[in-house]
């Protein structure tokens, strides 16, 4: 509490020291560039679609899945027919169409030989021996003709047997060839299917590489932005600091006492008494009255506190 001789203690003061260290311009520009690159990367990025080779593989897949099926079907049919057919079933297709003509021609030629050569020789032999027309001549002629007929029959049967065996071998060879062809077609069909599957796999693999490359191209802006953001990684950015100190008024830092204020006002009044400026004189008098009133109010408050 101030008294007449000493003024009031000055109020507590707040001393604020604010330190703000701004970042270098190149660093703020760098951060702005990162933000711009990131925004562009988001706009340019995405998911790579199927590549042309992958799309081609998708289009070929239905047909390639059944590649070789027709070939394998034909092979199965051919092998089935060969397995269900025996050589005697088809031997007539392999018999020489001129076989019977050959056998018949053998008989004709023998009859011609008998008429032109054998019979005249037998008749001449009988006449020479004096037994022409005899029973002995007839027996010799019959035996000769029987031997010739037996020989002819053997030759004819041999020819027919040879033709049959040849036809049987040819039929069996063709049936075996048909069976082998059916098996070969089945194998070929499997190879065709495998080739188609391999082709699809190659298209898919190469198409996947194209897709991966396309994805990398879409990701490249973001990758570059991320790499760019790491260029100043670990850089110590200066941060602003605010320091605030609160302390009471220091010793000797007091306001003017009421007595000094009154004295000062009295001095001013004395100076103004000789001054014709009535308005200034009235203002000084008013200030002096206010100071006196304040002094007595403070004094009354002090006495009331001590009672």
pLDDT digits (tens, 9 = 90+) for 230-283: 887 777 766 555 455 555 555 455 555 555 555 554 554 455 455 556 666 566
Shared domain check, 281 and 206: no
- 12 and 62 part of one domain: no
Q: In the chain, count of helices (H) and strands (E)? A: 9, 2
Dig out the tokens for 101 from the structure: 């003509």
pLDDT in tens, 42-89: 888 888 888 998 999 889 888 888 898 899 898 888 888 887 788 777
Best CA proximity match to 263, nearest among 298, 287, 246: 287
Q: How far is CA 84 from the centre of its chain?
A: 50
Q: Do the domain assignments include residue 161?
A: yes
CB 165 within 8 A of CB 91: no
Distance, in Å, from the CA atom of 304 to the CA atom of 231, rounded to the nearest integer, reads 75
Environment class of 78 (CB within 10 Å of its CB; exposed 0-12, middle 13-18, buried 19+): buried
Q: Is residue 36 part of a domain?
A: no
153 shares a domain with 107 = yes
pLDDT of residue 269: 46
pLDDT of residue 191: 92
Last residue of a domain, one of 194, 229, 264: 229
- Say yes or no: 77 and 220 in one domain: yes
Q: Does residue 141 or residue 14 have the better pLDDT?
A: 141
Same domain, 152 and 214: yes
Q: Which residue segment(s) compose the domain that 16 sits in?
A: 1-21+239-246+254-307
pLDDT of residue 204: 92
pLDDT tens digit sequence for 113-144: 777 777 777 677 666 665 556 677 677 777 87
Instruction: Give yes or no: residues 188 and 285 share one domain.
Output: no
Q: How many domains does the chain have?
A: 2
Weakest mean pLDDT among 32-46, 87-101, 183-197: 87-101
Structural element, H or E, at residue 76: helix 69-84
Same structural domain for residues 9 and 94?
Answer: no
Is the residue at 263 inside a domain? yes
Q: Flag whether the pTM goes above 0.85.
A: no
- CA 284 – CA 261 distance, rounded (Å): 11
Residue 47 within a domain: no
Q: Same domain, yes or no, for 265 and 184?
A: no
Interval 273-297 mean pLDDT: 61
Burial of 147: CB neighbours in 10 Å, binned 0-12, 13-18, 19+: exposed
Considering the domain architecture, whether residues 204 and 162 belong to the same structural domain is answered as: yes
Is residue 26 one of the residues assigned to a domain? Answer: no
* Tens digits of residue pLDDT in 138-185: 777 778 778 777 887 777 777 777 778 888 888 888 888 888 888 998
Tell whether the model's pLDDT for residue 111 goes beyond 50. Answer: yes
Residue 248: what are its φ and ψ, rounded to 5°?
A: -75, 170
Q: Which of 229, 262, 281 is the last residue of a domain?
A: 229
Rounded Cα–Cα distance for residues 307 and 302 (Å):
9
């Amino acid at each position: 509490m101030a008294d007449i001789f000493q003024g009031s203690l000055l109020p507590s003061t707040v001393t604020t020291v604010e330190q703000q260290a701004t970042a270098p311009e190149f660093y703020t520009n760098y951060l702005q560039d990162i933000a711009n690159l990131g925004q562009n990367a988001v706009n340019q990025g995405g998911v790579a679609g199927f590549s042309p080779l992958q799309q081609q593989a998708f289009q070929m897949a239905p047909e390639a899945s059944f590649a070789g099926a027709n070939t394998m079907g034909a092979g199965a049919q051919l092998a089935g027919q060969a397995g269900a057919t025996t050589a005697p079933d088809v031997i007539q297709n392999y018999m020489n169409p001129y076989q019977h003509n050959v056998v018949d021609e053998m008989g004709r030629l023998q009859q011609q030989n008998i008429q032109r050569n054998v019979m005249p020789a037998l008749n001449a032999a009988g006449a020479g021996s004096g037994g022409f027309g005899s029973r002995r001549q007839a027996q010799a002629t019959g035996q000769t003709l029987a031997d010739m007929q037996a020989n002819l029959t053997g030759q004819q049967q041999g020819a027919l047997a040879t033709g049959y065996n040849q036809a049987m071998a040819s039929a069996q060879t063709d049936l075996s060839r048909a069976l082998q062809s059916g098996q070969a077609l089945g194998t070929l069909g499997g190879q065709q299917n495998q080739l188609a599957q391999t082709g699809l796999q190659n298209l898919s693999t190469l198409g996947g590489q194209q897709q991966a490359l396309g994805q990398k191209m879409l990701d490249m802006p973001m990758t570059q932005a991320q790499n760019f953001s790491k260029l100043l990684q670990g850089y110590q950015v200066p941060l602003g600091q605010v320091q605030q100190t609160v302390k009471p008024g220091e010793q000797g830092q007091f306001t003017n006492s009421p007595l000094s204020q009154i004295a000062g006002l009295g001095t001013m009044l004395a100076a103004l008494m000789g001054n014709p400026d009535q308005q200034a004189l009235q203002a000084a008098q008013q200030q002096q009255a206010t100071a006196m009133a304040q002094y007595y109010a403070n004094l009354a408050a002090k006495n009331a506190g001590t009672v």
